[in-house]
Amino acid sequence: MKQDYKENLILALDAMREHKLRSFLTVLGVIIGVSVLMLVVALLQGFNQSVVERITGFGADSAYVARLNNGPSLARPTKEQRQRKPLTVEDAQAIQQMCPSVKAVAPFIVEWETGAHNVIYQTNEVDGVDFRGTFANYPEVYANAALKEGRYFTETENLHREKVIVLGEDTAKALFANIPAIDREVKVDGSSYRVIGVLEKPQGAFGTDDEDRRALIPFYTFHKSYPAAYEVSMRVQGLPGKLDEAVDETREVLRRRRNVPYDKPDDFIISTAQEQVEQFHEIIGMVALAMVVLGSIGLLIGGVGVMNIMLVSVTERTREIGVRKAIGARRSDITWQFLFEAITLTGTGGVLAIVITEGLLIPLIRWATDMKALVPLWAVLVALGVSISVGLIFGVWPAARASRLDPVDALRYE
């Protein structure tokens, strides 16, 4: 039996060599379909890794607490959300004091009314910065707040409303190029601040446009410059292995302080990194499904092309089939001969798709966009399996038609 399979494979390869151009055009749809599916997997895998790194970069053992769902810059708040009381620094202090599972709380304040904030140094300007006021424990709670150079401001500087600022890495590069950033004076909305530190760019960037545009000043300095600002949010860090308990305790304290009735939902949001990752996976799952459907159209077209060309091949080789049957070939032998030819055809297309995707398309995407694109081993195996399956499925009818030919009629065929 093994020898029969080997012989069928040799016959299939010979048929492909005899009709190189026809074979290539036949499997072009399979190549496109498999390549699209592999690209979808590669981009989604890379994007997923970037997003997970970005989300967990804030701290896997911490939770984000805010008044509004998704923040005012990302979604239009509902009427109920607009009527909620703002969170306060006193809320953060109460959480720190009354929650035994909480290690630290880092509140911060932002101001959305004036629109985007710009940082200016001489003739250089960076617009759309993430400008906020924070406390001195910010780098202790945020895992993505490592310093590249300089230092973070102290609690004394915060209490005395010192005009100091810590910049994100890309912001500092855009403003100062190759000169040192420390002790330079920059302006934000007309106010001058002295640069005392530069933050290291977090991992998990989505591409070249995703720059580290953070600009952090002391909380009370921010409040002095923007007295109307009220949007306080915070990140709560739990003790090791006690994040769930910290979240429950934080919710209980906030509900009590904000007088939320026991039968009413929270009038604030608490979101952990795990919850954000799960929400993202739900979204990315729907995107993946849509892209797989689109990629499957190419495979369907390729499969129809394979079936069509195999039917032509059966017609062209009718006398050959008659001769094989006349010398003792069984129906199963003829069936497997043509099935192997279809499988070899689409399998070769799958291999070409893998080579093109891995060797050309993925490196091109990485070079052009700086986006992470990863093709896991399982995706390569699935791509090869899918391409072979296309040949198996769409080759059944031509193979069955060939096996049912009457040997006498086949020998008479001109």
Residues 6 or more apart whose CB falls under 8 angstroms from that of 234 comprise 64, 65, 66, 87, 91, 92, 95, 105, 106, 107, 108
Q: Are residues 103 and 243 in the same domain?
A: yes
End of a domain among 163, 198, 227? Answer: 227
346-383 residue pLDDT tens: 888 888 888 888 888 888 877 777 667 777 888 888 88
The pLDDT of residue 134 is 94
End of a domain among 242, 267, 292? Answer: 267
Q: Are 191 and 76 in contact (CB under 8 A)?
A: no
124-171 residue pLDDT tens: 888 888 899 999 999 888 877 888 999 999 999 999 999 999 999 999
Report the C-alpha gap between 149 and 173 in whole angstroms: 12
Q: Are residues 200 and 349 in the same domain?
A: no
DSSP H or E segment with residue 183:
none
Q: Are residues 381 and 308 in the same domain?
A: yes
pLDDT mean across residues, the chain: 81
Residue-number span of the structural domain to which 157 is assigned: 114-227
End of a domain among 197, 227, 257? Answer: 227
Question: Do β-strands 231-238 and 102-110 pair in parallel, antiparallel, or remain unpaired?
Answer: antiparallel
Burial class (CB in 10 A: 0-12, 13-18, 19+), 160: exposed
Low-confidence winner among 106-110, 114-118, 168-172, 409-413 (lowest mean pLDDT):
409-413
Q: Are residues 312 and 378 in the same domain?
A: yes
Whether residue 61 lies inside any domain: the answer is no
Whether residue 288 lies inside any domain: the answer is yes
The pLDDT of residue 133 is 93
Q: Are residues 105 and 237 in the same domain?
A: yes
Q: Are residues 179 and 293 in the same domain?
A: no
Report the C-alpha gap between 381 and 40 in whole angstroms: 15
Helix (H, G, I), strand (E, B) or coil at 66: strand
Residue 135 Cα to chain centre, angstroms? 31
Whether residue 272 lies inside any domain: the answer is no
| Residue 147 vs residues 51, 175, 208, 220, 344: alpha-carbon distances, Å | 22, 17, 21, 22, 56
DSSP H or E segment with residue 53:
helix 20-57
E-state strands within 12-136: 62-66, 102-110, 117-121, 124-134
208-236 residue pLDDT tens: 346 788 999 999 999 998 988 888 999 98
Q: Are residues 283 and 370 in the same domain?
A: yes
Q: Are residues 283 and 403 in the same domain?
A: yes
Per DSSP, what are the bridge partners of residue 66? 269
Question: Total domain count for the chain?
Answer: 3
Residues 6 or more apart whose CB falls under 8 angstroms from that of 150 comprise 166, 181, 182, 195, 196, 197, 198
Q: Which residue has the tokens 């230092």?
A: 151
Q: Torsion angle of alpha carbons 106, 107, 111, 115, nearest 10°? A: 40
169-214 residue pLDDT tens: 999 999 998 888 999 999 998 899 999 999 988 765 434 346 788 9
Per-residue tokens: 242: 């006690």
The pLDDT of residue 401 is 79
Is residue 2 very low, low, confident or very high in pLDDT (cuts 50, 70, 90)?
Answer: very low
Burial class (CB in 10 A: 0-12, 13-18, 19+), 7: middle
Whether residue 60 lies inside any domain: the answer is no
Whether residue 340 lies inside any domain: the answer is yes
Q: Are residues 346 and 213 in the same domain?
A: no
Per-residue tokens: 296: 């499957």
Q: Are residues 73 and 222 in the same domain?
A: no
Whether residue 360 lies inside any domain: the answer is yes
Q: Are 166 and 153 in contact (CB under 8 A)?
A: yes
Low-confidence winner among 7-11, 287-291, 303-307, 381-385 (lowest mean pLDDT):
7-11
The pLDDT of residue 325 is 72
Q: Are residues 354 and 368 in the same domain?
A: yes
Whether residue 59 lies inside any domain: the answer is no
Q: Are residues 42 and 100 in the same domain?
A: no
Whether residue 58 lies inside any domain: the answer is no
Question: Do β-strands 147-150 and 124-134 pair in parallel, antiparallel, or remain unpaired?
Answer: unpaired
Q: Report DSSP state, residue 200.
A: P
